[in-house]
Amino acid sequence: MKCTKCGATAAIGMPQHRLNLCAEHFLEWVPAMVARTIEKYAMFSPDDRVLVAVSGGKDSLALWDILIRQGYRTEGVYIHLGIDHEGYSDISEEKVRAFANAASAASQGDVSFRVVNVGETYGKAVPDLARTRRGRRVCSVCGLVKRHIMNRVASEGDYAAIATGHNLDDEAATLLGNTLHWQANYLLRQAPVLPETHPRLARKVKPLCHLYEREMAAYALLRGIDYVEEECPFSVKAKSIFYKDLLNQLEHRSPGAKLQFYTGFLQAHEGGLFREEASAPIEKTCPRCGQPTMAEGLCAFCRLWESTP
């Protein structure tokens, strides 16, 4: 298989784009795709400060790498969840630290990141917290805790946006799950940019949303980024992985099926299919932490800790 651009041996084939690229051209193509996505959705500008949520995995570290190389003013935030299965959280933090150190050395600038340790900050690690919550899966508790902390950190600093490493497979799997269950509210809110609808609810952006997960792994490998290859031990049987598997079966039959599924959804959004309710502002505020909430009283995060023994 030859590179479509130069005829050298291709490192990766992307049938959905009818494009095969060598390492050199692929390492140009991925950042260009990210730059186009940032520009298309006006995610942030070169003068903005961007908080990058990093997990130690391929997507978030690759995103951070691309933003640093493109000259954006970034800072990383790593949320230590306290997952001690084979040292998962400690190892992930170490990968983030090693990346930041290497990026600092390469750019001759300071690539900084901060760590929020859930156990040390709030008194319980996420798996322990989830065990006290009957009926709630660890992933559900984890998502709630991470969103709250990201909003908190963003509101404490002067960041224009929180950038997350969600790729097209993540977004398509979420879309499939929400569609299968007709989760209208979630469908309304799914977008490459989640606007700041409350002073304590940071703007969230997904610059990798047009790139396949496979492409992000290839980018990380070709850049020599040392990331956590193992999945989170709690996500092994996650529905999102099942949905990704289903979507990949579609992709085998019809290359580009995932891309078409997701971009078709975005076009429907842009066409106004979901417009009215999506723009409704959140007006209620949690009396304890000050973050927005859909109902009167404590927000879901504070209720989680309120009822924890």
Partner 1 sequence: MSTAKITYRKDEWEVNSGMTIRDAIVKVGLDPYAVLALREKKLVNDQTILEPGDEIRLVNVISGG
Interface with partner 1 by CB under 8 A: which residues?
Answer: 1, 9-13, 20, 23, 57-59, 139, 142, 169, 173, 213-214, 216-218, 221-222, 229, 231-232, 234-235, 238-241, 244-245, 248, 251-252
When the beta carbons of 93 and 169 are compared against partner 1, the nearer one is 169
When the beta carbons of 39 and 231 are compared against partner 1, the nearer one is 231
Q: How far is the CB of 28 from partner 1 (least distance, A)?
A: 15
Q: How far is the CB of 156 from partner 1 (least distance, A)?
A: 25
Q: How far is the CB of 38 from partner 1 (least distance, A)?
A: 23
When the beta carbons of 138 and 160 are compared against partner 1, the nearer one is 138
Q: How far is the CB of 29 from partner 1 (least distance, A)?
A: 14
When the beta carbons of 229 and 283 are compared against partner 1, the nearer one is 229
Q: How far is the CB of 171 from partner 1 (least distance, A)?
A: 13
When the beta carbons of 72 and 234 are compared against partner 1, the nearer one is 234
Tokens linked to 229? 């290859």
Give the other-Cβ count within 10 Å of 214's Cβ. 15
Q: How far is the CB of 59 from partner 1 (least distance, A)?
A: 8
When the beta carbons of 82 and 292 are compared against partner 1, the nearer one is 82
Tokens linked to 84? 């001690």
C-alpha angle with apex 65: 59 to 69, nearest 5 degrees? 145
When the beta carbons of 23 and 35 are compared against partner 1, the nearer one is 23
Q: How far is the CB of 168 from partner 1 (least distance, A)?
A: 12
Q: How far is the CB of 188 from partner 1 (least distance, A)?
A: 23
When the beta carbons of 116 and 173 are compared against partner 1, the nearer one is 173
Q: HEC states along the chain?
A: CECCCCCCECCEEEHHHCEEECHHHHHHHHHHHHHHHHHHCCCCCCCCEEEEECCCCHHHHHHHHHHHHCCCEEEEEEEECCCCHHHHHHHHHHHHHHHHHHHHHHHCCCCCEEEEEHHHHHCCCHHHHHHCCCCCCHHHHHHHHHHHHHHHHHHHCCCCEEECCCCHHHHHHHHHHHHHCCCHHHHHHCCCEECCCECCECCEECCCCCCCHHHHHHHHHHHCCCCCCCCCHHHCCCHHHHHHHHHHHHHHHCCCHHHHHHHHHHHHHHCCCCHHHHCCCCCEECCCCCCEECCCCCCHHHHHHHCCC
